[in-house]
Amino acid sequence: MDISSLQAFVCVAESGSFSRASEQLYLTQPAVSKRIAALESELNTALFDRIGRHISLTESGQALLPRAQRILLEIEDSRRAIANLSGQVGGRLNIATSHHIGLHRLPPVLRRYTSTYPQVELDLRFIASEEACRAIRQGELELGIITLPLESPTDLKTKKIWDDPLALVSSTSHPLAAKKSVSLKQLLEHPAILPNPGTYTREIVERAVGQAISVRMSTNYLETIKMLVSIGLGWSVLPKNMLDAELKVLKVAKLDVSRKLGLVWHPGHTLSNAAQAMMDML
């Protein structure tokens, strides 16, 4: 099978669109369609059902997709292993990080890295930590610099880089702000603004509190949470390096919340020299 045809097939299947696949592959849409048609001709079966502008995988397409993904992953892994033999640090490095880490932790590291290794083409994606782990499992990314899951995943490697202590906060005008100390019962009488359900940070907060929390709003952007808290819409939990005069730290007895930030990678995939250099620098 032609590798470029497999790449086109996987890209269309994952994006759900020929037009989006053409953008991601830097090809025209007819070129993508031609590659899919060639693959369908070789396999003597249709891989997509096309109903108007909507496409979906046929039974044959569903059977091919995981195999095609594994083939492409093995090819990319082989390329990295061979390229590593030269000892040079260059090529494309696909990594992901969260918006908070990208804003508050990574800038000095990235400045030093790009200066030290100018031959590396850095593809830095800002996505949720949970999404980064999924992409690393699928071989779409080499590294994630993210909030680490509470339990280390059995299929991924993790390494803590930073401790990230969190603080319970409200606006300075919030009813709880005037209290020297706040009980957990008092805290839970007021609505919260927290990261989305299913995120590692939300799970950390829910485990620490151990009771149902009335959540008024959810967003994964901590800067947005900070703004919503500062205008009095609820209490929240934020990294201590984000605190300023607009926020009041609430002292809640026996409630200590923190998270760990660091690296995630797949032990079964060969890391490029560029990825290893990034790990070493971090």
Q: Which of 22, 37, 69 is the last residue of a domain?
A: 69
**One domain for residues 209 and 95:** no
In a domain, 82, yes or no: no
**One domain for residues 118 and 187:** no
**One domain for residues 157 and 272:** yes
Element (H, E) at 135: helix 129-137
**Per-position pLDDT tens, the chain of length 282:** 789 999 999 999 988 889 889 988 888 999 999 999 999 999 999 999 988 778 899 999 999 999 998 888 888 888 878 877 877 888 889 999 999 999 999 999 999 999 999 999 999 999 999 999 999 998 889 999 999 998 888 899 999 999 999 999 999 999 999 999 999 999 999 999 999 998 999 999 999 998 899 999 999 899 999 999 999 999 999 999 999 999 999 999 888 899 999 999 999 888 899 999 999 999
User: Which domain CATH number covers 169?
Assistant: 3.40.190.290
**One domain for residues 64 and 129:** no
CA 160, CA 262: separation in Å to the nearest integer? 4
Q: Are 2 and 71 in contact (CB under 8 A)?
A: no
In a domain, 103, yes or no: yes
pLDDT, position 125: 93
Helix (H, G, I), strand (E, B) or coil at 221: coil
Which pTM was predicted? 0.75
pLDDT, position 237: 95
**One domain for residues 98 and 127:** yes
In a domain, 79, yes or no: no
**One domain for residues 175 and 242:** yes
In a domain, 75, yes or no: no
**One domain for residues 251 and 173:** yes
Angle between helices 3-15 and 18-25 (to 10 degrees): 130
User: Which domain CATH number covers 128?
Assistant: 3.40.190.10
In a domain, 221, yes or no: yes
Instruction: Count the domains in the chain.
Output: 3
**One domain for residues 46 and 173:** no
**One domain for residues 254 and 266:** no
User: Which domain CATH number covers 53?
Assistant: 1.10.10.10
Domain boundaries, position 175? 165-258
- Distance, CA of 150 to chain centre: 15
pLDDT, position 172: 94
Closest CA to 8 of 132, 93, 30: 30
In a domain, 214, yes or no: yes
**One domain for residues 41 and 101:** no
Q: Are 156 and 139 in contact (CB under 8 A)?
A: no
CA 17, CA 38: separation in Å to the nearest integer? 18
CA 141, CA 222: separation in Å to the nearest integer? 24
**One domain for residues 127 and 247:** no
In a domain, 226, yes or no: yes
CA distances from 13 to 5, 170, 229 (A): 12, 45, 41
**One domain for residues 225 and 266:** no
CA 260, CA 129: separation in Å to the nearest integer? 12
- Distance, CA of 143 to chain centre: 10
| Amino acid symbol at 268 | G
In a domain, 186, yes or no: yes
